[in-house]
Amino acid sequence: MSARDIATVLTEALPYLQRYAGKTVVIKYGGHAMESDELKNSFARDVTLLKAVGITPVVVHGGGPQIAEMLKRLNIDSRFIQGMRVTDASTMDVVQMVLGGLVNKEIVTLINNNGGRAIGITGKDGRFIRARPLTQLTRAITAQEIVDIGQVGEVDAIDTNIISMLHDSDFIPVVAPIGIDDSGVSYNINADLVAGRLAQALVAEKLLLLTNTAGILDKNGNRLNRLTSSGAVALINNGTIYGGMLPKIQCVLDAIHCGVKAAHIIDGRVPHAVLLELLTDRGVGTLISGDDD
């Protein structure tokens, strides 16, 4: 790339840098973006750069494949009900070890090695993510039967003080999606859900969900660059959005309804996906905003 090309890229990014300076961006990091060294390091550099130019990133990460691998190594059987892993006490111990330890600290190290200053936390730290047992997905095929899926939770409340303290100290928070209830019981919570609720609590400017797809696709398989909330609902109603994308879109719609300015479903398989989506005209995903924007 020539000096002129570099100057063009920087000038294209300038209005976005000005627009987002001082604003909070919550990023859910997971999927293929966590698998290759190239993508891991490009993500870490993206987050470090955002912080360096005055944008406030908060990272929430998943780790389903890593949990599955550790359970296999420990000869602990996995059982799923309606797509949810049944999480008994021994499984929850592994979840905490993998999410709160191995995965979280790897991400922290990556960011620190790329020039950032990251600190890893779980929702148990300072009890900042209060959880309750997940209930709305626990009904079996017959409506009369209720299935216990163990320590799988949903967000009850978020106390943002610990996040604000880290921001004020110039650290990048890296959050493992583990919550705790009033009795001290730990819960594994879907990372998309935690990212969406955290974005709401922080009144974030942006919510970014890194996925293994190019974004939201129309019926012909073409990426939709931009949608309104009502447009997304219409695509759900006509069956264009279905399957695993549905809970992500519901998370996004809830966040926008509660004050988050916009959300992005972006392709985490693309190097520097975060910067390309936030700081360029084209982007690498689908932007979803409120109907009035």
Domains and CATH numbers, the chain: 21-289 (3.40.1160.10)
Per-residue confidence (pLDDT) for residue 85, from 0 to 100 = 80
pLDDT in tens, 26-67: 999 988 888 889 999 999 999 999 999 999 999 999 998 899
User: In terms of Cα–Cα distance, which of 142, 253, 163 is closest to 207?
Assistant: 253
Weakest mean pLDDT among 5-19, 200-214, 254-268: 5-19
> What's the rounded mean pLDDT across residues 184-189?
95
Rg, the chain, Cα only: 19
Per-residue confidence (pLDDT) for residue 53, from 0 to 100 = 94
Residue owning tokens 């583990």:
178
Q: Would the pLDDT of 291 be above 60?
A: yes
Instruction: Tell the burial category of 241 from Cβ atoms under 10 Å away from its Cβ (0-12, 13-18, 19+).
Output: buried
Find the distance separating the first CA and the last CA of the chain, reported in whole Å: 36
User: In terms of Cα–Cα distance, which of 44, 22, 10 is closest to 272?
Assistant: 44
What type of residue sits at position 285?
A: G
Per-residue confidence (pLDDT) for residue 86, from 0 to 100 = 84
pLDDT in tens, 147-157: 678 899 999 99
pLDDT in tens, 229-244: 999 999 999 999 988 8
Q: Would the pLDDT of 141 be above 50?
A: no
SS3 270: coil
How far is Cα 153 from Cα 91, in angstroms, rounded to an integer? 14
**Is there a contact between 237 and 293 (Cβ–Cβ < 8 Å)?**
no
How far is Cα 9 from Cα 274, in angstroms, rounded to an integer? 15
Q: What element of type H or E holds 186?
A: strand 186-189
How far is Cα 52 from Cα 175, in angstroms, rounded to an integer? 20
pLDDT in tens, 112-131: 999 999 999 999 999 999 99
Mean pLDDT (the chain) is 90
How far is Cα 81 from Cα 97, in angstroms, rounded to an integer? 23
Per-residue confidence (pLDDT) for residue 32, from 0 to 100 = 80
Instruction: Answer with the residue of higher pLDDT: 136 or 91.
Output: 91
pTM, entire model = 0.92
